[in-house]
Amino acid sequence: MTETVMIVTGSSRGIGAATAIRLAATGSTILLTYVANPERADDVVSAIEAGGGRAKAIRADVANEDDCLRTFAEADRIGRLTGLVNNAGVVDVAARLTDMSFARLRRIFDINVLGTILCSREAVRRMSTAHGGKGGAIVNVSSASAKIGSPAQYIDYAAAKGAIDTFTVGLAKEVAAEGVRVNAVRPGIIETEIHASGGDPDRATRVAAELPMRRAGRAEECAEAIAWLLSDAASYTTGAILDVSGGRSILP
C-alpha cells in the first residue's frame, strides 16, 4: 500500500508542532518545515517517533518558491500527499500603520499570504483529480485578528489573515469537484511563542481575562480542530472557517 504523507508548515513550535504530533496518529508520515531552529524541529520529530509515528523535518521558507518546490518534491519521495496544513506565519511588534516599514509589510505578506498560496498550489497539483490525484484536504491557519482588525497593534497581520480567509473560500469553490477540500481555523489568543516574537511574551496571560471564556487557548486545542477538518469525519465540509478563539471572534 502506498505510504501517505501530510505536510505541516512552520511546525517546530506552537500550533504547528502540536498539529504535527496530533496528525502522526493518523498513520501518515508527517513532513515538518522550519526555518531557523533545527533543534526544535528535531524535538518534534523525536516526539512523533517516540509515539510510534513517522516524521521528517526539512528546512524551508514557504515564501521562497524553490524551498516550496523542494518540500513537495520530498513529500513525493515519501508517498502520496493527502493533507497540507498551511501553518507557517509571522507577526511583528505592535505598531500603528504609519510606523510600519515596507520591509515589515513585505515580510508579513510574503510569509503569511504568498507562502500559503504557493504551498496550496503545489498541493492541488498533487491532490486534484483534474491533475491525476486521488483527492485530499488543505487546512489554512488564519487568525481571529482577521475579524477584529487588530488596530494599533498588528493591522498588517490582520489584513494578511483576512486574505487567507478569502483565499480559503475561493480555493474551496475552485477545487470542490476535484476531490480537494479546503478549510481554515481561526485561532484566537493561544499560549504560544508567537507573542514573544511580537515583543509581548505575556500577551496571552494579560488578554485572557478579556475573553468570553476567560482563558487563553492551548495549541493542542487548535490541533484537534485542524485534525478534524483533515479527517474523513469532515468529508462534507469545505470552505468553512472554524473559530478556535474562546469567543474572541464574537467580541465587538
Which positions are catalytic?
Answer: 157
d(CA 184, CA 15): 13
d(CA 17, CA 28): 15
d(CA 133, CA 121): 13
145, 96 contact by CB (below 8 A): no
Alpha helix locations (H) across the chain?
A: 14-23, 38-50, 65-78, 102-109, 115-127, 145-148, 155-175, 194-197, 203-208, 219-230
The count of C-alpha atoms lying within 13 angstroms of the C-alpha of 13, restricted to the half-sphere facing its C-beta, is 16
Alpha helix locations (H) across 54-135?
A: 65-78, 102-109, 115-127
Which residues on adjacent β-strands are paired with residue 4?
A: 80
Q: In the structure grid, which three cell numbers stand for residue 180, read together?
A: 480537494
Which residues on adjacent β-strands are paired with residue 153?
A: none
d(CA 242, CA 107): 26
Count of beta carbons in the 10 Å neighbourhood of residue 77: 10
